Structure 1
Amino acid sequence: MAAGVLPSESALQHARTSLLSKIPPNGHGDQATRHHLHNDLVPGLNKSSQSPNYYGFVTGGSTPIAAFADNLVTAHDQNVQVHLPHETAATNIEDAALRMLCDLVDLIPAEWPHRTFTTGATASNVIGLICGREYVVREAARRVGLFNSGSVAEHGLFEAMTAAEIDRVQIVTTVPHSSLRKAAALVGLGRNCFIDVGCDTASRSFDITELARALKTPRTASIIAVSCAEINTGLFATNGHDMRIIRKLADEYGAWIHVDAAFGLPARLLPRNVGYDALLEGVAGVELADSITGDAHKLLNVPYDCGFLFSKSLALAQHCFQNPNAAYLATAASQPTNASEPSIPSPLNIGIENSRRFRALPVYASLMAYGKIGYTEMLVRQISLARAIATYIEGHTTYELLPSDPSRTLEQRLESVYVIVLFRAKNHALGDGLVQRINGSKRIYVSGTQWDGKPAARFAVSNWQVDVERDIALIKEVMDDVARD
């Protein structure tokens, strides 16, 4: 393992000063360029993927088999956009990987026929909101007796909403990830379309009464967005009982349920043992949603960028994302190559991109190499480390575990700890520079955030190399040093 998570200041400075400022008239050649990359630039990169002690972004880190497969992706450079079964097996591999991914998290592939890989959770949220937007406006039009004028994809948002007699499409949610707000801006709903229906608690779980009230808003169509789990704390916004009620309300009011599960979906892997009940309840009922966003670099420890989107309506997706009148992209590939094979839609007609990297291969390789048991074991180690960190922080005189909850014992609070640990310094003077002091060690890395308007810090445990005993010892050593300074 490398000695530090962050590069030295001298390595950063050297990398910056050695960068070319303009293209050379004559190329330097492969050998000189390789030397430059390896010796000048690579030392200036952080080890967010290579080190198990990086706890900032939920990077995960590429496993050896995922890195090997990703090199094959580059070497063979497939453009996985059109299903051409007599020319390449790329789309067959993608379909197999997506089916295996469904199986990994106990979703039945046949119930999620719209399955696609994306650049990440942001793109997946864009796709989910486009499908949701199309559905709720169509449904609003249907409810006023119109059946051909409510398509946003066909007529545009303004004309479709006018025909459907609605003035607004709202996203009803609690603690949405920033990427969901960005997606709302991109699809024309706006960052201000969000209606917060969270309970006034640390977990910000759904207030079902407020949700029902929001869905009744006149001349308004609704997308219900469920955070599974929240980025700052790792806590879940719903449980199985909530999801059943949300599903009933969505059906009653013509709403679409979109689950942003980039953080939480792996919890469906957990065994039903004592200690995981709260986490399993947090992902219970996810199968009742209409669309689900996930991140493979979090869930499967494959390289950036790799997200995925599952939804229950393939026809709706093909209507939204169809490439019209592109003769050179025509394919008979929607038909199986023989009667025993499933039909595979061309990826360019069910997602954003036409040009698509072969992201499926590292996913397929990883699922084959480690299997369900292997990924479960990785997640259990990550949760165990997160809970060890939480226990250490709660017992320390310098630090405070967040969210504070005097009504619950530490054991009860630990049951809700997933892979994220939120904390701050009790001393406000230390709190302002806490993250900088921890990261200044260059031995571990945490991210800065806020809680209740005050500075806080956050451990996000996600690397596949986690070793609980080794890593908690290092964390305690660094944190104790910071406390003594």
Structure 2
Amino acid sequence: MTTTDPLIRVHTNPLSLARSRERIGLITEAARRAGSYVASATHRPVYPAAEAVAALDAFRRPLQDAPIPAREVLAELDAFGSPATVVSTHGRYFGFVNGGTDPAAHAASILAGAWDQNVGGTIMSPAAAVLDEVARGWVIDALGLPSTAAGAFNAGATVANLTGIIAARDALYARQGRDVGRDGLAGAPALRIIVGEEVHASALKALRLAGFGEAQIERVPTDRTGAIIAEEFPTDTDASTLVLLQAGNVNTGASDPFHEIIPGVRERGGWVHVDGAFGLWAAASPRLREQVRGVELADSWATDAHKWLNVPYDSGFVAVRDPRDLERAMAGTAAYLSAADDAPMHRGIQMSQRARAVETWAMLASHGRDGLAELIEGSCAHAQRFASLLTAGGAELLAPVALNQVLVAFGDERETAAVIAALQEDGTTWAGSSVWKGRSAMRISVSDAATTRDDVEAAAAAMLRCWRAVRR
């Protein structure tokens, strides 16, 4: 039986009540364990100990026949899973451009998880649809992109790049009178693809998934920062040209000279897509937006919320200047779906999808423009501090620090590799390796809002301490 109240229908069936209490108790227990994890994470080494990794074998067993109580499953997950996680959200993880977890976004993800809304169509969840609409507008506005651009949340910059590239592909063919949705790609004239030498692997993967092979890709030389040399960029592009530019080189943070390249490409009928997984957010800072000057002139853009915004994984974002180009490439049709509905499923690759925008909305709502700029600028200041401390200790800076990325070498190739290995075992902090212009390097990525000046100084001291130990 239920109440007659049309707004609140409380089920009084004893079995339903018992199940509801059990579920609430389980969620409460999960929250308690999550709180304990957050409280204890700072007391653990950044990378899990070998014993904790070895203990993961507890999960490697055949699927049993009988059910296991949910509380026991949760306890096992916590007992063996939690100790073997990487502490990447407490300020001292610098291995990849992994954002931390913004408190408001984290809390919103917990609530959104309870909602469990499918935001593929607006009718599926009015709340999630409105938050998606608002968050899209806020992201486009914060990045200084055209207010008329269409946007969509997705699983990350690789999917965002793929979405933008497919939109570009179909738009370029449409300008030639070819309808890819009707005619497909078989027999279509080849498009010309131009990228910089430092194009990121995710953009290359997206190109391949969109049907473009390595033989179609032209690479333009880059300078010592990894940015395309504008004078080397082809001036004979045309209406069958797709150009991929980069905001934020994954090693140096440098961006391509958008203001020098984009106008000519678009005037000649080509399409410019910008891969800006983290670097595009420099546009949200009054102090740093000069580094991406002209990026708003492009046709499409890809970025992440789970990097510099510190939104929980996974969350990417794509924007396309002309909404019709995104709709042409992504809109789906079915008897029970309205193609005219401005729903996420018509602006992205996925149909069913979680309400990712809720977390970005919460992060931006809690920070505002000023807080967002402070977050971006703070990471960059920490990167500069890293560079100062390490070079003062004798390390070699391999490229100027443009944003939040630091590349250093500790003596020769052997020493650098040994220092990285020693640091990763030390536990104080974690940084990874890279290769820059033929040199082995330690790459330091600062993108966790939890990082403090003390964290930077402790991490730099550990790096120099490991170097001294290697030399001994």
Counterpart of 1:350?
347
Aligned partner letter, 2:460: K
Alignment match of 2:432 (pick from 421, 427, 447): 447
Q: 1:3: Cα distance to partner?
A: 3.6
Q: Give the match's secondary structure for 1:18.
A: helix
Match of 1:283 among 292, 309, 315: 292
**Letter paired with 2:185:** L
Q: Secondary structure at the match of 1:432?
A: helix
Which residue identity is paired with 2:397? L
Q: Map of 1:265-344 to 2, 5 A cutoff?
A: 265-272=280-287, 279-324=288-333, 326-330=334-338, 334=341
Q: Answer whether contact 1:83 1:331 (CA < 8 A) is retained.
A: no
Aligned equivalents of 2:180, 2:230: Cα separation in 1:
29
Structure 2 residue aligned with 1:62: 101
1:401 pairs with 397, 401, 425, which one? 397
For the structure 1 residues 331 and 479, does the alpha-carbon distance in structure 2 shift closer, same or farther, using more than 3 Å as the test? Answer: closer
For structure 1, which segment, 417-426 or 220-229, has the greater mean C-alpha deviation from structure 2 after superposition?
220-229
C-alpha separation between the residues in 2 aligned to 1:286 and 1:239? 5
Task: Tell me what 2:459 maps to.
Answer: 475
Q: Distance in 2 between matches of 1:107 and 1:319?
A: 21
Instruction: Map 1:374-413 onto structure 2 (within 5 A).
Output: 374-397=371-394, 399-403=395-399, 413=400
Cross-structure match for 1:233? 252
SS at match of 2:193: strand
Residues 479, 204 of structure 1: CA spacing in aligned structure 2 closer, same or farther, 3 A cutoff?
Answer: closer
Match of 2:100, SS? coil
**Contact 1:84–1:331 (8 Å) recurs in 2:** no
Correspondence for 2:120? 81
**Partner-residue secondary structure (3-state), 2:151:** strand
Q: Summarize deviations over 1:190-233 as a string: whole Å, max 9, x none.
A: 2443211224x2123333343234526xxx82111111011111
**Partners of 1:331 and 1:418 in 2: CA distance:** 41
Instruction: Tell me the equivalent position of 1:407.
Output: none
Structure 1 segment 200-215 matched on structure 2, within 5 A: 201-213=223-235, 215=237
Between the aligned partners of 1:321 and 1:107, the Cα distance in structure 2 is 21
2:367 corresponding residue in structure 1:
370
1:127-153 Cα deviation digits (max 9, x unpaired)? 0110111122233x2xxxxx3xx1223
2:228 partner letter: F
Shift of 1:4: 1.9
Structure 1 position 71 matched with structure 2 position 71: no
Tell me if structure 1 keeps the 8 A contact 2:379–2:447.
yes
- What is the distance in 2 between the residues matched to 1:371 and 1:280? 17
Partner of 1:45: 85
Measure, in 1, the Cα distance between the counterparts of 2:285 and 2:210. Answer: 35
Letter in 2 for 1:264: G
Amino acid paired to 2:290: E
Q: Partners in 2 of 1:214 and 1:53 — Cα distance?
A: 47
Residue 37 of structure 2 corresponds to none
8 Å contact kept, 1:239–1:281 = no
- Deviation string 1:332-354 (CA, Å, 9 cap, x unpaired) is 6x3xxxxxxxxxx1211121001
1:263 to 272, 278, 299: 278
Aligned partners of 2:226 and 2:252 also within 8 Å = no
Task: Tell me which residue corresponds to 2:204.
Answer: 181
1:72-221 correspondence runs (5 A)? 72-84=111-123, 88-110=126-148, 112=149, 114-139=150-175, 141=176, 147=177, 150-161=178-189, 167-199=190-222, 201-213=223-235, 215=237, 221=240
Alpha-carbon distance between aligned partners in 1 of 2:325 and 2:244, rounded to the nearest angstrom: 18
Which deviations, in whole Å up to 9, do the C-alpha atoms of 1:166-201 show, x marking residues without a partner?
A: x343233341110000001101012443211224x2
Amino acid at match of 1:135: A
- Taking the aligned partners of 1:76 and 1:331, their CA distance within structure 2 comes to 26
Instruction: Summarize the Cα distance change of 1:451–1:174 in structure 2 as closer, same or farther, 3 Å threshold.
Output: closer
Partners of 1:170 and 1:417 in 2: how far apart? 27
The CA distance in 2 between the partners of 1:330 and 1:134, in whole Å, is 22
Question: 1:275 maps to what in 2?
Answer: none
Structure 2 stretches lacking a partner, 5+ long: 1-41
Match of 1:212, SS state, is: coil
SS for the counterpart of 2:431 is strand
Q: CA-atom RMSD, angstroms?
A: 1.9
Task: State whether structure 2 residue 233 is matched by structure 1 residue 248.
Answer: no
The one-letter amino acid of 1:123's match is V
SS in 2 for 1:421: strand
The offset of 1:239, in angstroms, is 5.0
Equivalences, count: 428
1:36 to 1:212, Cα distance in 2 relative to 1, 3 A: same
Distance 2:397 2:229 in 1: 25
Equivalent AA in structure 1 for residue 234 of structure 2: A
Contact between 2:246 and 2:276, CA under 8 Å: does it hold in 1? yes
Give CA-to-partner distance per residue, 1:8-31, whole Å, 9 cap, x none. Answer: 11111112x211412111122112
Q: What fraction of aligned residue pairs are identical, expressed as a percent?
A: 28
Among 437, 453, 475, which residue is 2:422 paired with?
437
| 1:361-402 CA distance string (max 9 Å, x none) | 0111111111111122222221111001111222222x2111
Secondary structure, aligned partner of 1:28: coil
